[in-house]
Amino acid sequence: MKRVILFYKYIHIAHPLALRSSQMKLAKRLSLKGRVIISSEGLNATLSGEDKDIEEYKRELTLNENFSDIIFKEASVKEDVFPKLSIKVRKEIVSLNQNLDIVSGKNKKGQYISPDDFHNIIQNNDEEVLIVDARNNYESAIGRFKKAITPDIDNFRDFPKFINDIKKYRDKKIVMYCTGGVRCEKASSLLIKKGFKNVYQLKEGILNYAKYYPEDFEGKCYVFDSRIAVYLDNKNRTIISKCKHCGEDSDIYINCANKKCNLQFICCNKCEKKFKHSCSNRCMEIISVKA
């Protein structure tokens, strides 16, 4: 059996390039695929491989005392969910470009909230609490927590703009979530920097939460691998998204057949055939001319 794991750690890395080469060696030896981002502020990764190789990777990574307390979010998969292995050194492990220093503690971050407490917040209809989805529009479009505010942003780098839109809620209690927790660490920190007083973040994100209360999450959870989006609760599959063409319920993302467009959009099976995998009449015309 194969498995995919997701994990991160904010910690000062003195020599990112050295960590990159040791990670490359380890991941190659175990035939893992996926993406690892290393920076002076930490490590952010998602990898897939055979169960035994993933176990060995986890064992060796956590031997390093910097990473001994990492929490892994895991799921069984039928095949590798990445085409290749990529390990990069970047300025940030998630790009927000706001000069936040959460590793040293210079910038504070939101307090962690446990799945139990988050579940209570979802159950209670407290108007003084705002549930904020820290993910992008195409992620929340296909799945989210009930009552969450979902920013209309294409990219996490646009989250600061969204903060301006919710400025008036500065005195409310803000509870945020993202897929695995890594974005909330920065997003919550930026809210505090911008004057929000009472900021919380769901520890280890939706994927960890789903181990306890999968039924609270509606629709599919977007994942950044070949599965694109997955149901977390196999018993209750609610479709919250609609086909871009006909407006019928659909929970399938496809990419536009016009390679120059390549838009990822929600499309039902019928319209996928009818529009020849294209997002619009215009894109369908373009591919028809080429064919």
Catalytic residues: 178
In the bound state with Zn ion, the residue whose beta carbon lies nearer, of 114 and 137, is: 137
Strand partners, 2: 50, 77
Least gap, CB of 144 to Zn ion (angstroms): 21
Minimum distance of Zn ion from residue 253's CB (angstroms): 13
Specify whether the backbone of 126 is left (phi greater than 0), alpha (psi in -120 to 50) or beta: beta
Q: Is residue 213 a contact partner of residue 183, using CB atoms and an 8 Å limit?
A: no
Q: Cβ closer to Zn ion: 149 or 261?
A: 261
**Cβ-contact 2, 79 below 8 angstroms:** yes
Residues near 57 by beta carbon (within 8 Å), at least 6 away in sequence:
5, 26, 27, 30, 32, 47, 49
- 3-state secondary structure at position 199: strand
Instruction: Compute the least distance from the CB of residue 270 to Zn ion, in Å.
Output: 5
Name which of 71 and 246 has its Cβ closer to Zn ion: 246
Q: Which is nearer to Zn ion, 26 or 252 (CB)?
A: 252
Q: DSSP character for 64?
A: S
Helix then strand then coil, % of the chain, to nearest 5: 30, 25, 45
Residue type (1 letter), 236:
N
Pick 165 or 248: Cβ nearer Zn ion: 248
The least CB distance from residue 142 to Zn ion, in Å, is 15
List contacts with Zn ion (CB under 5 A): 243, 245-246, 256, 258, 261, 263, 268, 271, 279, 283
Buried b (16+ CB within 10 A) or exposed e, 31-47: ebbbbbbbbbbbbbbbb
Query: Shortest approach of Zn ion to residue 281 CB, angstroms?
Result: 10
